[in-house]
Amino acid sequence: QLVGMETADFASLNTASIAALLTSQVVALTTAEIIALRTDQAASLVTQQAFALGTSQLVAMETRDFAAISTDSVATLQTAQVLGLTTAQIIALRSDQAQALTTRQVFALSTAQLVAMETQDFAALSTNSVAALQTAQIAALVTMQVQSLTTAQATGLTTKQIAAIVTSAITALASDALSSLSSEQIVALRTDQAQALTTVQAVALTTAQLAAMESRDFAALSTNSIAALLTSQVLNLSTDALVALRTDQVLALTTQQIVALTSDQIASLETQDIAAISTRSVAALKTAQLVAITTAQAQALVTQQAIALGTAQLVALETQDFASLSTNSAAALLTSQIAALTTDELVALRTDQALALTTQQIVALATAQLAALETDDFAAISTRSVAALGTAQVFAITTAQAQALTTQQAVALGTSQIAALETPQDAVALSTSSIAALLTSQVVAITTTQA
């Protein structure tokens, strides 16, 4: 009888009559009758009737009518029925209908259907339903859908699902959703996903998440993301993460971030990374950080970094670290820096460092500093520097240093310098070859007490 009824008559049935139809009668409805359904009639369909609809009948239902079906009826749809839904019907879903979808139904959705789902509907899916999505479905999600993930949904994702999110979509993950991820989920991130994280997302990472991040993923973070990290985040970075840093990432670190590093963190930086620290950051290093620098790191300091060190910082360097500075760095030190060096640091000078010292640097040494130089280092001073020594400096030369003077150094001494040699021990201490090489004017300058 229903099949023979004109569509206009069928559409005139009241909602009570529609709800009273037997499932066998529902199955017999024609496509024309399904299309003719009024919205309130569709809303009156009970769960058994919805369950009984064939896929062709369900597909024929107008979007506004499908959107009127009760949540209970939606939840009873078979997977074959769900899989048969058109894109337009998926788009027409109400949020409460989406929320009513079971994990079995969501799992059955094709990628095209899932992608068609509006963001508010996707966000309404239960955490269990989202957790049940196949990796192919996850990989198909568009940016806006990933952005709509709630904290609960994000937390419920499996590690395989996390790894399946495409890089273009991972950048859309909301900060609160990202910060809610477990350590296991963070570990599951692919390197290209880590590289795609935005600065806002990087700042949203908790210290526990940063600590859990694999070193290769941390090393993949963009320089902008590295520079955006909070000092509290930097302070909690593992030594493995710091070792994994790329040189351009270290170069991107701000002064505030560098100063926030602990002594152990500073000591863990690779030498090429130490050399990449900005001069402004080097100048801001704390005493404890400088003490923590290894000899290899000290050796890696470039001239601009050495010049950037304050006098208090230079004094804070351990003697073995100061002795590890390159000859270029030693030669680049300002006279104010030279004047601040401790006697221990001067004693620790390597001979090639002493040889690299400029005349201006040698002249800047206080008498006590000059007297602290070891004989090998003193003998390495250039003749030009020796010739520039002040009389007070010459007077401060120790007997051992005088004895260590080379013939060329002795010849370079001016007459006033010869006269300034402490008497009689320093003059007597000159080697016989140095004495023999003295010029007539120098010999004349020797005082009677020196002779």
Domain boundary among 298, 332, 366: 332
Do 433 and 406 share a domain, yes or no? yes
Q: Within a domain: residue 258?
A: yes
For the chain, what is the domain count?
A: 2
Q: How far apart are CA 85 and CA 80, in angstroms?
A: 9
Do 302 and 327 share a domain, yes or no? yes
Q: Which residue has the tokens 């991040």?
A: 213
Q: Which amino acid is at 141?
A: L
For 292-341, the pLDDT digits (tens) are 999 999 999 999 999 999 999 999 999 999 999 999 999 999 999 999 99
Q: Which amino acid is at 410?
A: A
Tell me if the pTM is above 0.85: no
Do 429 and 364 share a domain, yes or no? yes
Residues found in the chain: 451
Do 378 and 451 share a domain, yes or no? yes
Q: How far apart are CA 50 and CA 31, in angstroms?
A: 15
Q: Which residue has the tokens 């270029």?
A: 328
Q: Within a domain: residue 127?
A: no
Parent domain of 435: 349-451
Residue-wise DSSP of 334-364? -HHHHHH--HHHHHT--HHHHHH--HHHHHH
Q: Within a domain: residue 34?
A: no
In the prediction, which pLDDT does 432 show?
77
Contact 254, 226 (CB under 8 A): no
Q: Within a domain: residue 450?
A: yes
In the prediction, which pLDDT does 103 show?
96
Do 354 and 321 share a domain, yes or no? no
- Rank 36-45, 71-80, 408-417 by mean pLDDT and report only the highest: 71-80
Q: Within a domain: residue 268?
A: yes
Q: Which amino acid is at 52?
A: A
Q: How far apart are CA 220 and CA 217, in angstroms?
A: 5
Q: Within a domain: residue 306?
A: yes
Do 271 and 368 share a domain, yes or no? no
Structure tokens at 266: 């500073």
Do 324 and 412 share a domain, yes or no? no
SS3 per residue for 83-137: HHCCHHHHHHCCHHHHHHCCHHHHHHCCHHHHHHCCHHHHCCCCHHHHHCCCHHH
pLDDT value at 248 more than 90: yes
Confidence of residue 262 (pLDDT cuts 50, 70, 90): very high
Q: Within a domain: residue 313?
A: yes
Name 130's Cβ contacts closer than 8 Å, sequence gap at least 6: 106, 149, 153, 156, 157
Do 364 and 404 share a domain, yes or no? yes
Do 378 and 444 share a domain, yes or no? yes
Name 49's Cβ contacts closer than 8 Å, sequence gap at least 6: 19, 21, 23, 26, 73
For 206-233, the pLDDT digits (tens) are 999 999 999 999 999 999 999 999 999 9
Domain boundary among 332, 358, 392: 332
Q: Which residue has the tokens 């003193």?
A: 378
Do 355 and 438 share a domain, yes or no? yes
- The helix/strand count (H/E) of the chain reads as 55, 0
Q: Within a domain: residue 320?
A: yes
In the prediction, which pLDDT does 417 show?
82
Q: Which whole-number Å values give the CA distances from 407 to 382, 411, 426, 430, in the listed order? A: 12, 6, 15, 9
